[in-house]
Amino acid sequence: MIAIIDYDAGNIRSVEKALQFLGQEVKITRDREEILEADKVVLPGVGSFGDAMGKLHQYGLVEVIRQVAEKKTPFLGICLGLQLLFERSDESPGVEGLGILKGEILRIPEGEGRKIPHMGWNSLELRNQGRLFAGLSGEPYVYFVHSYYLKARDEQIVKATTEYGVTIHASVEQDNIFACQFHPEKSSDTGLKILKNFVEL
């Protein structure tokens, strides 16, 4: 069973539908035992960093997510779910992230012809042989919606980047922790392949 963590953030249903399309048993839950007993765990999310961390604390999920990480259960953060795994964000100064991975979330810089939020399809440059991208070649196109981007401290965990005024760390992987700034569930066949790679870990 794949547990999708429910903390009142948007975008949960589309992730659920994509995983069900791949034949997975999925449960949207904030129940500690269900999350800890799941074969895999997904943290989706659309919204603000500070509000999301507040909800994770309110529902007692911060400790649960840390336990999932320690148990080596495969864990996938999507969009805001990626950002929350890191230490801090420009979006919410003074709010501590989960800190499971090292790095910070910065605002995409303004620039001529550059709309913020960054919304639409961008190609990825794959690097460091990420397991989520097994079987994908070239520069796969995926769908982004975000105003803030990841700068990971350790370049070795970065498995895909994209360019949007700056080099965006678009996907990371460390041990059992995987995360994508883009939305695999909205990225057509490429996104389904990425999710399939995750469920087959």
Residues labelled as active-site residues:
79, 183, 185
Retrieve residue 191's tokens.
């996104």
Q: Sheet containing 177-180: which strands, arranged edge to edge?
A: 26-29, 2-5, 40-43, 75-78, 177-180, 167-174, 158-163, 125-126
Retrieve residue 134's tokens.
């097994």
